[in-house]
Amino acid sequence: MLEVELKFQIPLSHQKQIYQFFLSKNARPISLYAKYYDTPERHLAEQKISLRQRLEDTHWIQTLKAPSGHHLQRFELEIDLGEMDNPALDLQIYQSNPQAKKLLQQILGKQAKNLITQFETDVERLVYVVHYNRAEIEVSLDRGEIRHADQTLAIYEIEFELKQGSIQDLIKFIQPWVKQYHLWLDVRSKAQRGNLLAQDLKIAPAQFASPLQLKQKDSTDCTLKQIVNNALQHLLPNATAIASEQYNSEHVHQTRVAIRRLRSALRIFGDWSTDADPEWQEQLRTLFRQLGSTRDRDALSEGLLPQLQQAGAPFVQLPDAPEDNSIPIEESLRSLDSVNLILALLQFVHQPCATKQKTPLKKDIAKKLQKLHQQICKDADHFLELDIESQHRTRKRVKRLRYCIEFIASLYPGKELKNYLKDLKPAQESLGQFNDLNVAEAMFQDLVKRKQKVWFILGWIANEKKYILEQAQAHLDTYAKADTFW
């Protein structure tokens, strides 16, 4: 009952070409009309669960879908209601399935009686089946719309569903399609898009990092794959929002954070798996840079400008952003390089885990964390004497350590770990403030030639940098005395 599929959006310039290709394959046409149900408070949507009745040609199918631990897989239970005339929603059919019964009871409880139609979809599907290596893959082209009241949202997308075989074969089969038709990965379901439409919303909330539960008995290979999967769960919804051009500054920020988390995991734990590709680090670095400095300007607007106003600065305004000749960030996330990188990471997390373990997992973790800890403590010994680049390196080390600790936190006693983070966090914050001031200083130095009032800002920044630098040194000194928890 696990549905394994990947869905992609098709650029307008390639939609006709793909449609003609499906016709040449004698793809089977299916008319799909569906009603999606939820409570007025949207209890199901909050948990990313969908409940629908769909008329597939002449048969009504009632389907319950819920997320699993991976983006490619979802719990799916389909029940054929037969040839009926607009049947009523029937939850009794789930009484014989323990998983579905428990799921609905936990999410809905007594609210089950309040389920109503929230939106509809009307889709013309073209579908054919491919046998690739040892896999059987169903390829579907969906054209139609999502409807709520008098509002509509167009659907024109392609889905690849694995019926039999390995996820590795599924992804290998998809890659030439991505290259030929410039497809880009979309992790939104029709239900998620429909729920936004029903609420008259254009932009979904940003996705934040979620806690990861690891098992001490797992191999290092398996642990790294779980860590990467956790980072992808953080990254993909935000990357999809940007690629679909329905995003705000928080989506950009969370995408950057997710990429930093991925890079940190691969840099520190990357040698845990022979399946990990060393080139991913540089590819992620390139993607991070392509996301630009938008978030830096947002952070300064929210943090620095109010401080300058309070200090009585005669001029309080960020310099105009320099002309950016790079491609827009939404195009970066739709690019062939980005889509292939995401597919490679998805393929990695679904590869079988190596079970052989030379050393206990926690012993290997301790070795990694101890090295980072010692590097930061060494920097702390003479932080004020370091040049700007080395101080910046210290900040990155602290942030990298923080992300890695978050990944493996479930394996350690909460009290010792919290005490350690309590000493690490102030150092991270002061180093972050120092970096923001350096960014701001570079921005305003170019402007001072044209606006003399900016001298006040540069003077204030120089004074603030001195104070924050001393604060960072004090926080690092405190951290260097912290007891490690590993």
Q: Which tens digit of pLDDT belongs to each residue from 55-69?
A: 998 999 999 999 987
Q: What is the pLDDT of residues 416-465, one digit of tens each?
A: 999 999 999 999 999 999 998 888 888 787 777 677 777 888 888 899 99
- The identity of residue 211, as a single letter, is P
Strand 2-9 vs strand 50-56: parallel, antiparallel, or unpaired?
unpaired
C-alpha dihedral, 221 to 226 to 232 to 237, nearest 10°? 160
Q: Residue 427, Cα to own-chain centre: how many angstroms?
A: 27
Angle at 56 between CA 54 and CA 57, to 5 degrees: 140
Q: Are 424 and 372 in contact (CB under 8 A)?
A: no
Residue 314's pLDDT is what? 75
Q: What is the pLDDT of residues 208-239, one digit of tens each?
A: 999 999 999 999 999 999 999 999 999 999 99
**What's the whole-model pTM score?**
0.91
Neighbours of 362 (CB within 10 A): 13
Q: What is the pLDDT of residues 309-361, one digit of tens each?
A: 788 777 667 776 666 657 899 999 999 999 999 999 999 999 999 887 778 99
Domain ranges across the chain: 2-201, 249-480
Q: Are 34 and 61 in contact (CB under 8 A)?
A: no
Q: Residue 221, Cα to own-chain centre: how many angstroms?
A: 22
CA distance 254 to 279: 23
CA distance 151 to 323: 38
CA-closest candidate to residue 211, choices 467, 418, 408, 419: 408
pLDDT at residue 129 tops 70: yes
CA distances for 229 relative to 33, 222, 263, 341, angstroms: 34, 11, 13, 14
Quick one: fold of 2-201?
A: Hypothetical Protein Pfu-838710-001 (2.40.320)
Residue 315's pLDDT is what? 66
* Rounded percentage of the chain residues whose pLDDT exceeds 70: 96
What CATH code would you report for 249-480? 1.40.20.10
pLDDT at residue 293 tops 80: no
Residue 449's pLDDT is what? 66
Out of 78-92, 320-334, 396-410, 437-451, give the one with best mean pLDDT: 396-410
pLDDT at residue 266 tops 70: yes
Q: Are 184 and 8 in contact (CB under 8 A)?
A: yes
Mean pLDDT of the chain: 93
CA distance 117 to 100: 20
